[in-house]
Amino acid sequence: MNKKVSNVIFSIFMLLLIVGIIIGVVWLVKNWETLSTQTDLYSYEDLVEYGDEKYQEGLEASDNYKILYEETLKSLNQAEDRVNDLTEDLQDAINSGNVDKETIAGLQQDLAEAQADLIAKQEQIEELNNTITFYEKLLEAYENSDKLIVTFMLVDNGKEIPYDVQAVEPSAYLSAVMTPEKDDFEGWSLTKGGELINDLTTIQVTENMTIYGMCTNTVTFMVNGEEYATQEVSYGKYATDDEVSLTGYTLEGWSLIENGETITFNTTPIIKDTTFYAQCSKKNISFEPYSWNGLTEFFGDYVWTDGQNVYYSFGPEQYVLNKETSTWEEKNWSEYIPNLSGIDMWTDGQNLYGVDGYIFDNKLCYNHYVLNKSTSTWEQTVFYGLDNASSFSGINIWTDGQNVYYSYGPSEQYVLNKETSTWEAKIWNGFTDFAGSDVWTDGQNIYCSESKDNQYVLNKETSTWEEKNWIFEKDRFYIYGVWTDGQDIFSFSNTINGTECYVLEKQTSTWKFLLTLNLENMDYAFSPEYIWSDGTNYFYSQQSDQFILKI
């Protein structure tokens, strides 16, 4: 064979060798997740039972992981370079002032993807490093086969990841193990999802064993293709949507796939990161004509409840609602109060009170009454401290959950001393000129929305009204007529295009546009103060405008 032929054969051989190495590396990369979850293939028991053959396979696995580590490290360096380059490109584009928004948005998207890729490679490097160390310790333990072997495995997102090995004398106790630097690490357990071990050094080793490092799993709640909330759940435990409030949506259930069958949380144990998809529809609010019996034209702001029944009170017009027949029936109270008005009803959290104003000696005076629910009797009671009140009305009484206040302009700010039934002067900080009718709550905080430019949140500890900056999806919107359906909080804005309805996203303080209401069949201008509820349905009542709200 001549020299030229020999060189050709040698070149072909080297080419095939290089191709084979490349294919091997590519295979390792593609099968990394499978390899990393099959560490039991080369467990200590296998090495002991099958002897040198499995020991040799363990050596090869360790070498393969080292090769994969080097390749991943190169890929990590490339990912870091890409992130740095994209960061510089994005900054140059922003600083130049000549680059269009679409190009900048594209660079931002590329940078976000590059950063996510970098984080993934950093996590992979960490796992590979732990696995290599694990195999080195495991193979070393094979050479000390007179000892018992304890392997430590991290259970993270459904995978068992090698973490540590201890070779222990029979009947000896475990040594302490360094806690994994993972925010979701909960502790060590003898079984997956079992009771956590407070102190590993109390465990006496009498046989080869595995101890599991338990990590929480992330449960993600998706709504209409967007991440809505997350929750950390221990292995084998159950997720709950108790703290998930779907702003502006009617929830029908959750599924494991988009548009899938709804599941029950307490029968779906979480053993890895899991995504639940909301089966829901966006809330729709409409006003449909509604007919009452007995009382057909009335105002919703004069409707009130004692917690059991629903009443309408407007001077001589006193009614109680028969919900079954939608009939307002005349109500004869045991004690007649002249000008008893639903708008003046208020409560201190225990009792229900009414106010009757009258003129005496050219001065506005008030009679106060408390309702005896068991006898339907309004009994006269006394409150002190309102001699200087120009116009006392229950509509301006509000509570912060602890105290009861009366607010009507800068000179009439009171707090109720329940023990003495006295309205005592109250001094606020930050904002003093407001009425209680403009105070509302989202169930957590207390707000005052007096006008477009006067939006405040109450600091209870300091009695200070601090400025509140809301986020509005439309610049012209401002808070007007807040009300709730028991789940969401709504507000309205009257515009030339109609009455727009908004819903409050509490987490972000954002008023999100929901829809434009069709109110063409109303005789009067829409005002949300006339919305009221019988405990089941919501109604809108403004004289001849009588509607039921469909949500």
Among the listed residues 399, 456, 395, the one whose alpha carbon sits nearest the alpha carbon of residue 429: 456
pLDDT of 36: 44
User: CB count, 10 Å around CB of 321?
Assistant: 21
Spell out the domains of the chain, with CATH numbers in brackets. Answer: 31-145 (1.10.287), 146-215 (2.60.40.4270), 222-282 (2.60.40)
Q: What is the DSSP letter of 273?
A: -
Is the pTM higher than 0.75? The answer reads no
Among the listed residues 492, 443, 497, 488, the one whose alpha carbon sits nearest the alpha carbon of residue 472: 492
pLDDT of 35: 44
| Predicted confidence pLDDT, tens digits, the chain (551 residues) | 555 545 545 555 455 555 454 555 444 445 544 444 444 434 545 554 444 554 555 556 666 767 776 777 788 788 888 888 888 888 888 787 777 878 888 888 888 888 888 888 887 777 777 777 776 776 666 666 677 888 898 999 988 888 888 888 889 999 999 899 889 999 999 999 899 999 999 999 998 888 999 999 999 999 888 888 899 999 999 999 887 878 888 888 999 998 888 999 999 999 999 999 999 888 888 889 999 999 999 999 999 999 899 999 998 899 999 999 999 999 988 876 766 889 989 998 889 998 877 666 776 677 889 999 888 888 888 888 876 667 788 889 999 999 999 999 898 999 999 999 999 999 999 999 999 999 999 988 999 998 777 899 999 999 999 999 898 877 666 676 788 888 899 988 877 777 888 999 888 888 888 888 877 778 888 888 899 999 999 999 999 999 998 88
- For residue 125 the two structure tokens come to 């490097």
Rounded CA gap, 456 and 320, in Å? 37
Angle at 485 between CA 480 and CA 487, to 5 degrees: 110
pLDDT of 7: 55
Among the listed residues 267, 273, 270, the one whose alpha carbon sits nearest the alpha carbon of residue 234: 270
Integer Rg of the chain from CA: 36
Beta bridge partners of 173: 204
pLDDT of 44: 47
pLDDT of 427: 95
Among the listed residues 320, 292, 324, the one whose alpha carbon sits nearest the alpha carbon of residue 306: 320
Contact in structure between 306 and 279 (CB atoms under 8 Å): no
Task: Report the SS3 class of residue 29.
Answer: helix
Contact in structure between 341 and 315 (CB atoms under 8 Å): yes
